[in-house]
A and B are shown apart, each in its own frame.
Chain A
């Protein structure tokens, strides 16, 4: 088993090729009512369950936890966190699970790497770990009171093929308009930057038809409504991770006599970047 911590943004502990893209679209928390150790006024626990990045859970003291009761033991192998301020605040965070809501275990291989992340920035986070089946799951924070906008807990989608050359890593694909103002005599008076977020395209070819239908199409159905996490090459660039959404339906194409599939989509990262 490989335990993998590459940066403040990704804490990974799992087997398999980490060169393949990960898509964190599945979350078991979406339909549930989460609870928290404490909630600041206007910052309820349920805000972190929702998919928007402008409503937040904020505890009133640390250590603190944010918890969901899945009703029965369910398998989880990743946790995505977005719209947080762990880095700015100086918060440490870890993912825990429990079968009885009282005895908690860290969701990682603690023998190989620490389960606790201490992010240095406020970028999206993806915890990848061996699948665990448990009824209760929680995010445990300490160090400083954080603000957390989005928490996903579910099964990660591991892409069947790698991305080909030409891909623009999403966190490097900043979009902005730059507008200078010039005086009547030609003097440069100011320069304004209007950010339009992150935008890139993902494209995969040679996906087997069965794999696509069984694994990718559920993501396509979800992506019509909900945002998702995506990391294009977690092994080498774990920090190049974004939470965002697609603008259009994702439509695959059959690419040959062996019924292989090609699929791609344009992705917009959420928030200020």
Chain B
């Protein structure tokens, strides 16, 4: 997003993804509204003679639609203007493109009574094929791109930020923190149904005279909850694309990133004036002929096929050409190429792709192979719309976006995103830091498309209105709401019942009232207060489930007799699993949150650096709230989750020292006037941690000390001493997840280190120019409010636990909590293969730890590491 300073005009776009059937009323799998079907007797330019068994009443099919489904002229639709029952001749209101004949099969469909492609209005629910349709709204007096097809009825957008509960310690929010939310206000108005009613032309009424937009929408879409809602913010004069006229020198250029050598991924949205151009069009590349500073480029050849050229020595090019040309429908297309330097057989491979949404890639033709295994790390600039400093094979068209990665799936190392610039800008900085310059007659122009406006992602929760004044409000929240205890339980409640009474020694039993999929093939169940495991599950022809290989009275419980009809509850068992894997399972399989929304790669990385040794073991024998379970894990392994509404991802981070050095914000250039406010938060302070672990019986109460075999108490005596706080602040944890002393010691040390002192919480506001800062980020503040003993200002480090654009595109409010550790350096236990301190690189120095010298300092004089 372009962070403009002066004269900026914020624009807001609200998107709703409503359900929308992919079928057409009465066509294909949808059988609704079909009044008659048959094979035509004959056809003429403007008529079709229906089958002999068609209706005998004149005009009975008038205003209906005849759709040809097979034979000559198949696939056409026409409205019947009149119909003669005696001759079966239907006269259509517009001539056929291909005249039907006696081979033509058809359906007559009552389109005036058609549905609205929503489930509530569906007349053939069994064949409802749920798809999605994005509808858009904007503010009435803002700049408007007709391509958005947005309804200018937004009265206001009010966000309530999510709030992180670090380590589930916050007393003011739930264990998963406070859910982010947004309220969008609309003003109701007459609705033309354009874009909302696929059969508008067939209706017999004027939709502007019937109901209002929102009354109709709500009638058609009563099942709107949990459907996506996005709020996009941008600026009125934001550019959309680079317009490249096609002359020599018309291009964009930036310093190129260094490509490591054996992986390359190029992608972007491109629009060529001619997709079979008279000369090769170079789209993007790092390619300078003299003196031999070629590296790579992606181009479109005169045949329309794509070409990737790479070189290992900066001079000798190897060419990969797509086996087919992309099919371009519409103004632009997403193109990509993924180049792999060594496929394991000493060959390189290039795969070309296209996409309709920029996310789901479809390979274009076959994989192309070559012999160049590395890419020359040249000094040529990265150029758009031409190579060779803009002089070679310029393209004619538009570039909406482009990116470079070191292989598909790897982070972006360079991007070209004109939507970050204003129309007419000659320079701009991309999201990934490239300083782009625009040359000659190339220009940044156009109005941004909806996807070019950064979005905040939510799911709809409720809708109120329209009221008598026509006001409508939609409230939406983040997806972690799906994990709330009221919505998600783990394990799911089982419905299977014993078919007969069970003795206290039986090793098999049968269950009725459940399906095979309701239980694991081998696992653990609970009947009454007894837990038992089984090795085999089968199903009888009558549908009875048969459990065998049963071990009775496991997990600290006692075998007992059970009555017929007792519930057989499936249990959820985790054994030495990584915390992130347990959290993923709970969110994905028990809360129904799509794995795409979980930042799993980053989670795994975080786990494997900061949560080593914290493998979890637990048995859950009855349904419990997913939020509660995850909250326990967050509290006991000291991680926190939050919804990143900008990235549309659930983030996870351990409570640990930061690796990176956060940006400094000060009172001169960043903090808005009178926006700073801080206070101490004593309720969060802890001086003693009591951890009960090794649960005896998972069927008994969790918060009962007697139900645990072990307990460990960790006390910060200094903090409790009369020279400091002079009081005890005790926190008790009843852990079904932790199982070893080492785990408990680890957690205790970290928790006390973080919360031995009164946490500092507060808020600040920044101008929108600084809004890249967002929830979960760390920041250092330099303000007169934070001083040392002498009164000199000192930096303090905070974490953003909540962020909200209070006036979108203008001011952002941040909720903060101090994020300071007792030592300036901390690390983790390392592998034997880790380098010595003197040989470690910067990342290793930041993430690993070495024993200090006797004086507490490292060999280079730096402060020693502390256990955090």
Contacts and interface: CB of A to CB of B under 8 A. Distances in A.
Mutual binders A and B: yes
A58 B146 CA distance: 10
Interface of A: 31, 42, 44, 46-47, 50, 52-56, 58, 85, 147, 149, 179, 181-187, 189-197, 271-273
Interface string B423-444: 0000000000000000000000
B113 to A, nearest CB: 19
9 contacts: A31-B206, A42-B194, A44-B200, A50-B194, A85-B146, A192-B810, A193-B8, A193-B9, A196-B141
Nearest to B770: A189
Contacts of A181: 672, 767, 810-811
Interface in B809-826: 809-811
Interface in B1-59: 4-10
A136 to B, nearest CB: 17
Nearest to B190: A52
A179 B192 CA distance: 36
Given A47-B194, A183-B767, A184-B675, 10 more contacts: A42-B149, A54-B151, A183-B670, A184-B667, A184-B671, A187-B668, A189-B672, A189-B769, A190-B768, A191-B7
A193 B7 contact: yes
A42 B152 CA distance: 16
A197 B139 CA distance: 12
Contacts of B769: 189-190
Nearest to B236: A272
A190 B6 contact: yes
Summarize A's interface: helix, strand, loop or mixed.
Answer: loop
Contact of B141 (A44, A147, A182, A272): A272
A129 B152 CA distance: 33
B144 interface: yes
Interface in B86-125: none
Interface string B126-159: 0000000000000011111010011110000000
Contacts of A31: 206
Contacts of A197: 140-141
A271 B146 contact: no
Nearest to A33: B201
A83 to B, nearest CB: 8
A192 B671 contact: no
A55 B809 contact: no
Contacts of A54: 144, 149-152
Interface string B186-214: 00010010110000110000101000000
B719 to A, nearest CB: 33
Interface residues of B, number: 44
B673 A192 contact: no
Contacts of B471: none
Residue of A85, A185, A192, A196 contacting most chain B CB atoms (<10 Å): A192
Residue of A42, A54, A185 contacting most chain B CB atoms (<10 Å): A54
Contacts of A192: 8-10, 807, 809-810
A71 B4 CA distance: 54
Contacts of A147: 146
Contacts of A44: 194, 200-201
A195 B9 contact: yes
B669 interface: yes
A184 B668 contact: yes
Contacts of B208: 50
B674 interface: yes
A69 to B, nearest CB: 13
Contacts of A58: 146
B84 interface: no
Contacts of B152: 53-54
Contacts of A47: 192, 194
B8 A194 contact: no
Pick the 3 closest A-B CB pairs, nearest first.
A184-B667, A189-B767, A185-B668
Contacts of A149: 146
Contact of A184 (B141, B192, B768, B783): B783
Contacts of B189: 52
Contacts of B674: 184
B676 interface: yes
Contacts of A183: 667-673, 767
Nearest to B768: A190
A123 B674 CA distance: 43
B194 A187 contact: no
A85 B147 CA distance: 12
Interface in B649-680: 667-676
Interface in B786-835: 807, 809-811
Contacts of B675: 184
B809 A272 contact: no
A252 B665 CA distance: 60
A195 B142 contact: yes
